Amino acid sequence: MKVLHHLRTSRLRLLTALFGLVALIVLATWLAFALWPSMPQRTVVIAVYPEGSLNAELVKRYREILARNGIELKLDPSAGAVESVADLRNPKSGTSIALVPGGITSEQDSPELASLGTLFYQPLWIFSRRHVSHGHKQIKGLRVSIGPEGSSSHLLSLKLLGRAGVIDQKSASLLSLTPTESAQKLINREIDVAIFLDGWESSAVQQLLNAKDIELESIPRADAFVALYPYLSKLVLPAGVVNMAQPRPPSDVLLIATKSSLVVRKDLHPAIQYQLLEAAVEIHSPPRMFQASGQFPAPESVDLPLSPYAREFFKNGTPFLLRHLPFWLAVFLAQPVVWLIPVLVLAIPVLRLAPTIYDWAERRRIYRYYDELRRLEDEMFRSAPGRSRTEFLEQLDRLDDRASRLSVPTSFKPLVYSLRLHIGMVREAVQKMTAER
């Protein structure tokens, strides 16, 4: 019967330990998912600028790449970067991503935005009809397109060229046309000058570079612009790069340019940010006009701070799970793993101490009987009044009976046997003292 009782007690303790382990796992899992941000949205909104701009073509490429992982990039038509930044700052607009040139905003103006790095150069192009080519003179009394209101072209044309006196805002007729409209109207002689900010690959730029009777103007005092506005760079378009036979352009052309950044809301899910960065590498790393292979994307913060996920990406690459698992599975596993790491860090020392704690607890159960035995022995030798030797013997018998029924692991059985041996020794001492009387 005692053996059966021991087996039942051992099973009960085993079940209790297993239940505790399961409870710990459930608690850790619950904590991981409770602290885990929501899964990334499958539809994300990106601002897209008018057709004919390089931005429109690039956004389409981003959409194609992200679609491989089941992420839909919804396009939000915008007049340009100024309007897009306003939409990004407004959480109710739904827009989370935009390609934004330098000089449009700042960390103080847009604390809710972050940069994923710079992508490419966007020169400020000044095209004019040959008979009105002004060289380094002021543009006066002419029909000048400076881009739609809300666009970076419109803002920077007035901010840079207007304030520098390149455009005479009093006499010039300033028009708000898209790059495509500007190129067409300039070729058709409906305007005299087209100024817009766009990349080398822009269809409007290529159309005007190859158009007859259209000249690309050098930016006067380009070095001064770069010195005064840190977000600007000076570029040189080499003579003959468009057509070496003619040549076209006939001489080197000085340009000022901003660097376009991939800007996101800070609350955009980290997994989406990593996907955008991988797409940026695929799209912008090959060599092009004005840039060497691998120059972009670059971990540069022109106007806005670099996202911590972008900083990690440029330092260590894409996280392990996103590299080796399907996107949605990696996202599902990533955050629980992150939160379980501190749980495991805390659990390891506890698990290492568990055998010691268990050993102490089992010994403590037995030593409590020794404490009771010592008290009885002290009382016996002090001959407490009103206490007969027979009463001491009965108490010792009860203590021995409880000790015999004490269920402990096999490794602690010697301690129980030693306890009962000591109880017997005290009993013999009591009996001897009784016989002597």
pLDDT in tens, 290-301: 999 999 999 999
Q: Residue 10: which H helix or E strand, with range?
A: helix 2-35
Decide if 188 is inside a domain.
yes
Give the lowest-confidence range in 80-84, 127-131, 153-157: 127-131
Q: Residue 334: which H helix or E strand, with range?
A: helix 327-382
| Cα–Cα nearest to 149, from 238, 220, 54, 50 | 50
Write down the mean pLDDT value for the chain.
84
**Bond preceding residue 287 cis, omega within 30 of 0:** no
Cα gap 5→332, rounded to integer Å? 47
Taking a C-beta distance cutoff of 8 angstroms, is the pair 83, 151 a contact?
yes
Decide if 405 is inside a domain.
yes
Decide if 36 is inside a domain.
no
Mode of pairing for the β-strands spanning 95-101 and 113-129 = unpaired
What string of DSSP letters covers 347-397? HHHHHHHHHHHHHHHHHHHHHHHHHHHHHHHHHHHHT-TT--HHHHHHHHH
Give percent of the chain with pLDDT exceeding 70: 80
Token code pair at residue 361: 């607890």
Tens of pLDDT, residues 175-201? 999 999 999 999 999 999 999 999 999
Residue 333 binned pLDDT confidence (cut-offs 50, 70, 90): low
Predicted confidence (pLDDT) at residue 394 exceeds the cutoff of 70: yes
Decide if 331 is inside a domain.
no
Q: Please, what is the angle between helix 327-382 and helix 2-35, to 10°? A: 140
Q: What pLDDT sits at residue 131?
A: 65
Token code pair at residue 60: 């389409």
**Average pLDDT over every residue of 396-420:** 82
Predicted confidence (pLDDT) at residue 64 exceeds the cutoff of 60: yes
For residue 45, the cross-strand partners are 74, 95
Cα gap 273→306, rounded to integer Å? 12
Decide if 363 is inside a domain.
yes
Token code pair at residue 209: 């570079």
15 shares its domain with 104: no
136 shares its domain with 250: yes
Token code pair at residue 372: 């009771």
Predicted confidence (pLDDT) at residue 225 exceeds the cutoff of 80: yes
Decide if 329 is inside a domain.
no
Tens of pLDDT, residues 226-275? 999 999 999 999 999 999 998 999 999 999 999 999 999 999 988 899 99
20 shares its domain with 155: no
246 shares its domain with 357: no
**Average pLDDT over every residue of 31-42:** 62
Predicted confidence (pLDDT) at residue 137 exceeds the cutoff of 80: no
426 shares its domain with 294: no
123 shares its domain with 241: yes
What values do phi and psi take at 234, rounded to 5? -100, 130
374 shares its domain with 236: no
115 shares its domain with 6: no
Predicted confidence (pLDDT) at residue 24 exceeds the cutoff of 70: no
* Apex 309 CA angle, 305 and 310, nearest 5: 60
79 shares its domain with 144: yes
Taking a C-beta distance cutoff of 8 angstroms, is the pair 42, 70 a contact?
yes
Decide if 406 is inside a domain.
yes
CATH code (residue 245): 3.40.190.10
Long-range Cβ pairs for the range 210-215 (8 Å, 24+): 210/242, 210/243, 210/248, 211/183, 211/186, 211/187, 213/129, 213/130, 213/131, 214/127, 214/128, 214/129, 214/130, 214/186, 214/187, 215/127, 215/128, 215/129, 215/130, 215/133, 215/249
Taking a C-beta distance cutoff of 8 angstroms, is the pair 161, 196 a contact?
no
Give the distance, in angstroms, between the CA of residue 186 and the centroid of all CA atoms in the same chain: 45
Give the lowest-confidence range in 133-137, 378-382, 400-404: 133-137
Cα gap 315→223, rounded to integer Å? 33
400 shares its domain with 288: no
Predicted confidence (pLDDT) at residue 433 exceeds the cutoff of 90: no
Decide if 312 is inside a domain.
yes
Map residue 337 onto helix, strand or coil: helix
DSSP-based helix, strand, coil % in the chain, nearest 5: 50, 20, 30
Q: Which residue has the higher pLDDT, 312 or 132?
A: 312
| Cα–Cα nearest to 304, from 100, 136, 151 | 100
Domain end point (choices 318, 353, 385): 318
Domain with 13, as residue range(s), is: 2-28+339-436
Taking a C-beta distance cutoff of 8 angstroms, is the pair 110, 70 a contact?
no
Domain end point (choices 285, 318, 351): 318
| Cα–Cα nearest to 10, from 420, 412, 421 | 412
Predicted confidence (pLDDT) at residue 3 exceeds the cutoff of 50: no
| Cα–Cα nearest to 380, from 399, 395, 365 | 395
**Average pLDDT over every residue of 113-129:** 96
Instruction: Tell me how many domains the chain contains.
Output: 2
Predicted confidence (pLDDT) at residue 6 exceeds the cutoff of 70: no
Q: What pLDDT sits at residue 4?
A: 39
Q: Which residues of 27-63 are buried (b: 16+ CB within 10 A; e: fewer)?
A: ebeeebeeeeeeebeeebbbbbbbebbbbbebbeebb
Predicted confidence (pLDDT) at residue 136 exceeds the cutoff of 50: no
Q: Residue 74: which H helix or E strand, with range?
A: strand 72-77
Q: How far is CA 427 from CA 129, 201, 385, in A?
A: 122, 103, 19
82 shares its domain with 170: yes
Predicted confidence (pLDDT) at residue 374 exceeds the cutoff of 70: yes
pTM of the full structure = 0.70
* Apex 153 CA angle, 152 and 159, nearest 5: 85
242 shares its domain with 314: yes
Q: What pLDDT sits at residue 102?
A: 95
- All residues at 6 or more sequence positions from 116 whose CB lies less than 8 Å from its CB, including other chains: 261, 262, 263, 264, 273, 276, 277, 280, 297, 306, 307, 309, 310
**Average pLDDT over every residue of 201-223:** 94
Residue 344's Cβ-count burial label (10 Å; 0-12, 13-18, 19+) is exposed
**Average pLDDT over every residue of 52-58:** 93
